Structure 1
Amino acid sequence: MSTKALIPPQQAPSWKTTPAEILKQAQDLIDRAKSLDDELASVESPSIANVLERQAQFNNANALLENQLTFQQHVSEDKEIRDASTQAEKLLRDFGIESQQREDVYKSFQTLLDTVVLDQLAPETKRYLEKTVREYKRNGLGLPVEDRLEVKEIQKKLSDLSLKFSKNLGENTEYILFTEEELEGVPKDTVEQFAKVDGKLKMTFKYPDLFPVLKFAKSAETRKRAFIGDQNKNADNEHLLVEAIKLRKQLAKKLGYETFSDYVLEERMAKDTKTVKAFLEDLKTKLKPLGLKERDVLLQLKKQDCESRGLAFDNEYYVWDNRFYDNLLLEKEFQIDEQKISEYFPMDSTIEKMLEFFEKLFNLKFVEQLESKSTWHKDCKQFAVWNEDDKASPQFVGWLYFDLHPRDGKYGHAANFGIAPGYTKEDGSRSYPVTALVCNFSKPTAEKPSLLKHDEVTTFFHELGHGIHDLMGNTKYAKFHGTSVSWDFVEAPSQMLEYWTWSPNELKQLSSHYKTGERIPDDLVAQLVKTKHVNGGLFNLRQLHFGLFDITVHSSEEDIDLTSFWNKLRQETALVANGDTVSKGFQSFGHIMGGYQAGYYGYLWSQVFAADIYYTKFKQDPMNTANGVLYRDIVLSRGGSRDEMDNLKELLGREPNNEAFSKELGLA
């Protein structure tokens, strides 16, 4: 069947809106949700049909609207729309907290749980009921009225703090001015994109500006200013995080938990704080000898570099040295020229080939919408996605968006945003998912297209991994759709797909020189693949710094001086010196204000599962469609409708283990 004949059964969302409409729609949604709560509370004989299904159907049908209203703050060009979106999210969050405190609704669900025969329910319905009752209890239902009111106030304050923290990050306009001399070594393409202010060059803290300066600037003072400036931006966020940690501690105590991390981890695969701390400390012990060896090599390289340029060498390896000497090592020892490699990965061609990978691996078809786009920005790409298990009759899967370049007011990192979950409608038909990748890759210039560094290609694969997880979701309820899994498993599918960007055949297939169309040469691929775990010990120790900081501040009984702890822990764990500086990177640590609080360990925890799946199912044959479809149907399509460990055991044919993970880290 030709792609022209593929007509999606569900239109893409409309993105035409005004600030007033956003606020009106948010209030209307709240009013309708309140009416539903009133209805559920008044049911005399609770049943699956009149309580659980009523709530589920409402949540299913309104998830797209709610996500659209709150998503605009991250991507809209219009500041008034961004502000309205943030305000709408505050309204919706505040109402959500009120709704979760409805004792009368909770009693309807508790009565249903007490009276229904659980084993006679469909497994997903049973899971919905049990999780919903547990969520009400975790929000304070069952506590005396005074305590419940206090829980509600704490939750509202925490929600406000999170929104302010995120808004500060998104709206950040800070920058540093450098002279051309100070930027010696930074690629010409990068410097040419810097605006001029008072005769100097303006480096913002957006990734396409910052990272090349940290990697290539020959001046240590320039790198130091760039690094410390980035760490200390968003100064207003310090007191927001301090206040949030204090309130989280109070919340946990009110709900009967020793610490906030105990409260969070009860619902994760790890289950408790002790397990997480043991995992992180064990990893730190194993990685530290490797990290020290790597640091010694880099320190010697710094010494040689300083001597060759007639500079004093102080025998210290500073945190702002790391990207520069890591890159220099790759250039000297492995002949890796990051700029040269990027010439083989022009964005449009790389996207086309990347999507072809997923078409083969998961039996999919991506059809770009060129003439009838419905997007929030002219630079966005939009795709209709189809399942081709039956080539003669493809089945629509959902809509995928790419928003790939930085702009003022836009979300500053790389992330996947689920816009609409998939679910089964009342008539048995499907409502299809909508998902968006929001990234910050360099813009094309008049001379060159946007060229992706290899680490950006890996980032792209990672975020698209979340997008594919979203698109493959095939659950009855939106509650369990796609990435709605345990937070310490949610990264595993994306981390697994990063392996494809280190597989020689796949890397070659992905490449196409922006001038000649030639594939990347075999010798360059071989050299690049050898670098996969160069300084991997230091890289993972950096992740451990974040993970240990997060779990410690959320499990400590005592108040912690965040600045002192952040700097001391980084020196001890990441093995880099702070020099004469004090930095506050936690002011930009969006993860621990926006969902990963007491959960950042999950990035390392989930790598265990990612490595196990890849080594077991794909290492020998990365493009094996049969295994891709098996993985798609057992892990991705089930979302959170089944226990993740049960899915893993079914896919692997055994209990997961950490053997592959240890091999990857060079520990086995």
Structure 2
Amino acid sequence: MVVFIVSLALASCAGMSSAQRLASSEGAAPPLGPREPDAGRHLTLPAGHFLSECLRDLQRARAHIEALLSLPTPRAPEPALTAYDDAMALLDDASGRAGLGANTHPDAAFRDAAARCAQDADSLRTDVSLDPRVYAALAELDLSGEDTATRRWVDLVLRGFRRAGVHRDAETRARLRVLHDALTRLGQAFSQHIREDIRHVDVPADALDGLPEDYVRHHPPGPDGTVRITTDPPDALPFLTYARDNRAREALWRAGQQRGHPRNLETLSQLLQARHDLATLLGYPNWAAYASEDKMVRQQQVAENFIEQLATATASRVKDDYAALLERKQRDVPGAQRVEPWEQTHLKELVRAERYRFDSRELRPYFEYTRVKQGVMDITSRLFGLTYRRVTDAPVWHPDIEAWDVYEGPTRMGRFYLDMHSRPNKYAHPAQWDLATGRAGRSLPEGVMTSNFPRPGAHPALLQHTQVQSFFHEFGHLLHHILGGQTRWAGLSGSRTERDFVEAPAQVLEEWAWRPESLRTFARHIDTGEPLPTDLITRMRRADAFGKGLWLRQQLFYAAVSLQLHAGNPAGMDTTARVNALQERYMPFPALDDTYAHLSFVQLDGYYSSAYYAYLWSLVIARDLLTPFLRHGLMDPATAQRYRDTVLGPGGSRDAADLVRSFLGRDYGFEAYTRWLDDA
């Protein structure tokens, strides 16, 4: 019987092209149940083997496209859409693994191989998006019998083809391919220059006066008696906050402002020009207009108006915050006329201590890394009805990395990896990366969370509260990827919503880092085991209100930089002068010579480019999404389940505004954000 079945299978493939055989084995007959999650295995391969597997997956993606085109007409929607979706899933997963590998892998040869994989994947994606045959095959499908989500997805896919330039003549499409390839290479170079350019200052041991004991312990003097402080956030942020030595803080701040210089001056100029050339070739006035079209804002002017609206709303708060910092400085430096940028964080800490009896160093003993990790998992497990199981035998690409499977009852929903500690040549900022796309019954979603937290060892690894907040934030992205990764189509899976909504679910989860009902479940003193006192949480929340105006203006400055660098023809633009002018417009701190914040502004590459405003746009929505939780309690499982079902679970199956409306029962508004901004 076995031989007979195999013979039939072989006979059925006889005479087929390789593309048809691939579609027969993978597209039309998906496997029973999702495959075992194993995307992490790719990151454990030798560099050459990784690249070979990447190229093999790209060839499989091409075969799926050929299978789509070879279907007899009129094409049935199911096999046609499955073939296209399979191709895009292979491309997305190859790109996801490559992006993670190029930015975080410990091996230099692997990072190079991953960068090559990303280039080839982007090149193939461009080829598909500019292929009129593929567009026609999808546009001609009769979708009258398909569900709403499928019809919406195909509409978005076809819009993407049109935005890519599929209807342009052959010469224009060839030029678009060249520009896309250039954008990939330039974006990789821009990010690599930042990642590899970690600056440092060597300071005398007494420059650490004011730093927490555990920080001092992890920074012993070298043979020459000096202490090396790097511009990596785990080093730099506590130093700029607590160090009493103003000259040392200035030196470190200036070193951070030099990252990416001078190499990224030319790289950024070329990147901006290539984006502008591509946008104008497609008929748009500039890149910002092109990039805004498929976001919630739809138009560049809406994004510009939003930035100005928030700038106006924060004007009085910024003035008050700055005046308080200057007054505090004048007590130490009589006659001081201004606050310098490297003084902001330190002075803010002093004002908070005096006004609200709050010293953020008091929090650190309550935020030991392993307890924070367990706390985030326990809270989200309780809220969303999930179980997390450590997978100790999963292949990982560094000893620090942990693999966890997510279950709902007996059903495995996906897998995530935690890569949480510092190492050389690793992406410096907290982030979440898609590793594998989830599709109902076919593949499980897999994601990776990376950060640069201190590593537990002989002494406990204590976190700043901002790091606890970022843990919740990035874990929110992971949950969105996994809980939303149960859709029929890869193109609707996980967080494939409008990009100016993507941050909202992560920002929602940050609230659990601020409330006693959540914090006291895991935040316990490292020595006494006592839970974080409610009074300290109250003082922390009150103190956080101070400086909110300055923080928002900093974000608005970055949003304006992101948008305005892309708002016109960049030919001949002095990007440094342009950024300095925007700083003078949005920030109360002077723009200083020989500083280049834009050259290490990682979000200018890739996903956000001109749309950094999305962080604040999403925050407006997130504050409104929190209103039912604040009404019923953060730990209310019924509210959490409804949020999961209406916002996270659908993935990209509906427009973001519809997801929000289904949870709130109304359109989102500005009121909740205004209340949060005015909270003091």
Aligned-pair CA distance for 1:451: 0.8
| CA contact 1:183–1:222 (8 Å) conserved in 2 | no
Equivalent residue of 2:44, what SS? coil
| CA contact 1:73–1:82 (8 Å) conserved in 2 | yes
2:127 corresponds to 1:76: no
Distance 2:161 2:666 in 1: 35
Q: Residues 444-523 of structure 1 correspond to what in structure 2 (within 5 A)?
A: 444-446=456-458, 448-473=459-484, 474-523=486-535
Equivalent residue of 1:386, what SS? strand
* One-letter code aligned to 2:385: N
Aligned-pair CA distance for 1:188: 4.2
Q: Aligned residue for 1:310?
A: none
| CA contact 1:286–1:667 (8 Å) conserved in 2 | no
Distance 2:86 2:173 in 1: 28
Distance 1:662 1:358 in 2: 27
Equivalent residue of 1:201, what SS? strand
Q: Aligned residue for 1:397?
A: 413
Equivalent residue of 1:296, what SS? helix
Aligned-pair CA distance for 1:197: 6.9
| CA contact 2:234–2:452 (8 Å) conserved in 1 | yes
Deviations 1:499-557 (A, max 9, x none): 11111222222311112211012221221121232110110010000011111111124
Q: Aligned residue for 1:375?
A: 396
Rate the CA distance shift 1:202–1:128 in 2: closer, same or farther, 3 A.
same
Normalising by the residue count of structure 2, what TM-score does the alignment of the two structures yield?
0.90
The Cα RMSD (Å) is: 2.0
Deviations 1:104-158 (A, max 9, x none): 222222333xxx2x44321222122212221111111111221111111111101
Of 517-526 and 614-623, the range deviating more from structure 2: 614-623
Rate the CA distance shift 1:251–1:61 in 2: closer, same or farther, 3 A.
closer
2:420 corresponds to 1:409: no
Aligned-pair CA distance for 1:64: 4.1
Q: Aligned residue for 2:19?
A: none
Distance 1:558 1:60 in 2: 35
| CA contact 2:545–2:679 (8 Å) conserved in 1 | no
Distance 2:665 2:61 in 1: 43
Equivalent residue of 2:506, what SS? helix
Alignment equivalent of 2:48, drawn from 14, 17, 20:
20
Q: Aligned residue for 1:126?
A: 151
Q: Aligned residue for 1:206?
A: 232
Q: Aligned residue for 1:594?
A: 606
Q: Aligned residue for 1:573?
A: 586
Q: Aligned residue for 2:126?
A: 97
Aligned-pair CA distance for 1:66: 4.6
Distance 2:167 2:613 in 1: 31
2:558 corresponds to 1:536: no
Distance 1:533 1:151 in 2: 48
Equivalent residue of 1:379, what SS? coil
Of 63-72 and 230-239, the range deviating more from structure 2: 63-72
Deviations 1:393-421 (A, max 9, x none): x3211112111111011111000111112
Rate the CA distance shift 1:363–1:20 in 2: closer, same or farther, 3 A.
same
Pairs aligned (count): 640
Aligned-pair CA distance for 1:219: 2.4
Aligned-pair CA distance for 1:65: 4.8
Distance 1:246 1:181 in 2: 47
2:367 corresponds to 1:354: no
| CA contact 2:67–2:83 (8 Å) conserved in 1 | no
2:155 corresponds to 1:139: no
| CA contact 2:60–2:87 (8 Å) conserved in 1 | no
Q: Aligned residue for 2:193?
A: 168
Q: Aligned residue for 1:261?
A: 288
Q: Aligned residue for 2:28?
A: none
Distance 2:281 2:326 in 1: 49
Q: Aligned residue for 2:17?
A: none
Deviations 1:341-391 (A, max 9, x none): 11011111121122111111111111223x424322111222111114xxx
Distance 2:93 2:292 in 1: 28
Aligned-pair CA distance for 1:659: 0.5
Distance 1:377 1:416 in 2: 17
Query: Where does the alignment leave 5 or more consecutive residues of structure 1 unmatched?
Result: 1-7, 308-312, 389-393
Distance 2:177 2:298 in 1: 25
| CA contact 1:169–1:412 (8 Å) conserved in 2 | no
Normalising by the residue count of structure 1, what TM-score does the alignment of the two structures yield?
0.92
Distance 1:39 1:242 in 2: 41
Aligned-pair CA distance for 1:334: 2.1
Rate the CA distance shift 1:666–1:123 in 2: closer, same or farther, 3 A.
same
Distance 2:278 2:87 in 1: 29
Q: Residues 99-114 of structure 1 correspond to what in structure 2 (within 5 A)?
A: 99-112=128-141
Equivalent residue of 1:437, what SS? strand
Q: Aligned residue for 1:330?
A: 352
Q: Residues 644-655 of structure 1 correspond to what in structure 2 (within 5 A)?
A: 644-655=656-667
Q: Aligned residue for 1:271?
A: 298
Query: Where does the alignment leave 5 or more consecutive residues of structure 2 unmatched?
Result: 1-33
Alignment equivalent of 2:451, drawn from 439, 461, 464:
439
Aligned-pair CA distance for 1:48: 1.3
Identity percentage of aligned residues: 27
Equivalent residue of 1:418, what SS? strand
* One-letter code aligned to 2:615: Y
Q: Aligned residue for 2:26?
A: none
Equivalent residue of 2:421, what SS? coil
Of 219-228 and 61-70, the range deviating more from structure 2: 61-70
Distance 2:590 2:629 in 1: 41
Alignment equivalent of 1:54, drawn from 83, 96, 103:
83
Q: Aligned residue for 1:422?
A: 438
2:258 corresponds to 1:232: yes
2:110 corresponds to 1:85: no
Distance 1:365 1:94 in 2: 39
Aligned-pair CA distance for 1:263: 0.9
2:309 corresponds to 1:287: no
Q: Aligned residue for 1:345?
A: 367
Of 211-220 and 275-284, the range deviating more from structure 2: 211-220
Distance 1:299 1:99 in 2: 57
